[in-house]
Amino acid sequence: MNDSDQYDLVIVGGGMVGASLAIALAGRGLRLALVEAFEPSSNSQPNYDDRAIALAYGTRLIFEAIDVWPALASVAEPIDKIHVSDRGHFGATRLSSHDEGMPALGYVLTARELGRVLNAQLRQDRSLDLIAPARVVDFAQKDDGVAVEIERDGLMRSLRCRLLVAADGGSSSIRQKLDVPVQQWQYGQSAVVANITPSHPHQGVAFERFTDAGPVALLPMTEGRCALVWTVADDEVDSVLALDDEAFITAFQTRFGQRLGRFSQVGRRFAHPLSLMRAKQSVSGRVAIIGNAAHTLHPIAGQGFNLGIRDVAALAEVVADAHAGDRDPGSTDTLANYSRWRIGEQRNVALVTDGLVRLFINPLRAVRVGRNLGLVAMECLPWLKHPLARAAMGLTGRQPRLARGVPLD
């Protein structure tokens, strides 16, 4: 094997999470490779589509620390308020950046814009081998490293690394090959997403509305547009997607209500089937599993990538510390530090997201009254609301150095 095929880290998957990890670790003396199945461009990678991604304020801090934020700032719309309500009932609560003393609770941009910026940064970095389009087709763990087989243009190539990072998305073949046990729920629902323009200015407000037929979210975007996430039962998805613009707008208006006036100009609609998956281990031998490969969430709470980038910040920190101390980045000790750090938050965010979705679609009267009282209590009691706002901003729990603006070394 050539020296050029030996790496400290091989990252499988150049989606938002794998790309962010590569950028965070590039340029600090580690030999790094990123293997991505598609040509790295926001027009070829399927997940860099027009879906709106809400970035928590904590994610902005991590992007600032790895120098990605300056290129994102001009395309990201700030979220100043979050309005959570139970449609047709009395309960509602509002979170506000002003009350929290923060410049914003978060930001919204399209996955396509995020992909464009991350890919541009990946291409610039000379200390990183970007191997794409290429697929990891097999790997084998040894005591001192991992042998990784990749296929590119019909040719096979072998790489060797000390740490293999599975950032290969929800149906991760790496996680499956490792036989890592998962907890999984299917919701029998899909998220229909589109951009839409309201007649009233959105004023930086994000709406989360729970309705009897499932949750609806409306996120503020640039140019006065909003991004809608409309949860639809799987057996109704085809008929919703088949609606013409006018019928779609009318149906969505009925579901969302009149808070932002009349809607017009709806963009292309896409449906994403909803499930929740959580890997019960985030480490196996010399492999770390991060992002959607470790946890795929219901998008209504907008937490999937935000949780994934906190995996990135934590893994980057333990790997950089191991490297600085001349220790093996894929050793049991290094990865145990990562696993202990992340497994609790991954479990809690998955459980809370799932619990919220189930709580708000429960039609029982007692549950409905209880959740509305909960929303009212939240609205009246700052000591209840403040922790919720901090959690929505991704600012709770043990914060990695990158999230505190402290460089990795």
Ligand X SMILES: Cc1cc2nc3c(=O)[nH]c(=O)nc-3n(C[C@H](O)[C@H](O)[C@H](O)COP(=O)(O)OP(=O)(O)OC[C@H]3O[C@@H](n4cnc5c(N)ncnc54)[C@H](O)[C@@H]3O)c2cc1C
Q: Find the binding residues for ligand X in span 287-316 (CB under 6 A).
A: 291-292, 299, 302-306, 308
Instruction: Find the DSSP H helices in 154-266.
Output: 173-177, 237-242, 245-256
**Given the complex with ligand X, which of 169 and 330 has the nearer CB atom?**
169
Site string for ligand X, 343-372 (x = CB under 6 A): ------------------------------
**Amino acid identity, residue 337?**
N
Residue 91 or 136: which CB sits closer to ligand X?
A: 136
Write the binding mask 254 to 283 for ligand X: x where contact by CB under 6 A, - elsewhere.
Answer: ------------------x-----------
Number of CB atoms found within 10 A of residue 105's CB = 24
Phi, psi of 320 (to 5 degrees): -65, -40
Q: Are strands 155-166 and 287-289 parallel, antiparallel or unpaired?
A: parallel
- CA-wise closest residue to 295 among 374, 354, 244, 364: 354
Provide, rounded to whole angstroms, the least separation between the CB of residue 366 and ligand X.
31
Binding mask 85-114 for ligand X (x = CB under 6 A): ------------------------------
Applying CB under 6 A, does 17 fall inside the site for ligand X?
Answer: yes
Q: How many CB atoms lie within 10 A of CB 21?
A: 30
Q: Which is nearer to ligand X, 198 or 291 (CB)?
A: 291
Contacts with ligand X: how many residues (CB under 6 A)? 36
Determine the Cα–Cα distance for residues 382 and 386; give it in Å rounded to an integer: 6
Closer of 145 and 299 to ligand X (Cβ): 299
Spatial neighbors of 5 by CB under 8 A, at least 6 apart, are 157, 158, 159, 160
Least distance in Å: CB of 147 to ligand X? 15
Residue 6 sits at φ, ψ, to 5 deg, of -105, 130
| Residue closer to ligand X, measured from CB, 159 or 408 | 159
Q: Which two tokens stand for residue 128?
A: 């990183």
Quick check: 16 binds ligand X (CB under 6 A)?
yes
Q: What is the smallest separation between the CB atom of 305 and ligand X, expressed in angstroms?
A: 3
Residue 173 interacts with ligand X (CB under 6 A): yes or no: yes
* Out of 193, 232, 249, 391, the residue judged to bind ligand X by CB under 6 A: 193
- Interaction between residue 135 and ligand X (CB under 6 A): yes
CB of 376 to ligand X, least distance (A): 26
By CB under 6 A, the residues from 27 to 86 that bind ligand X are: 35-38, 45, 47, 51, 53-54
**Which residue, judged by CB position, is nearest to ligand X in the bound state?**
15
Of 92, 103, 80, 134, nearest in space to 360 by CA: 92
- Number of other residues whose CB lies within 10 A of the CB of residue 385: 19
Tell me how far, at minimum, the Cβ of 368 lies from ligand X, in Å.
Answer: 26
| Distance between CA atoms of residues 216 and 251, nearest Å | 12
Task: Pick between residue 37 and residue 91 the one whose CB is nearest to ligand X.
Answer: 37
DSSP string, 341-397: HHHHHHHHHHHHHHHHHHHHH---HHHHHHHHHHHHHHHH-HHHHHHHHHHHTT--S
Half-sphere exposure of 279 (CA within 13 A, CB side): 30
Stretch that binds ligand X, among 6-14, 316-324, 330-338, 369-377 (CB under 6 A): 6-14
Binding site for ligand X (CB under 6 A): 12-18, 35-38, 45, 47, 51, 53-54, 135-136, 167-170, 173, 191, 193, 229, 272, 291-292, 299, 302-306, 308
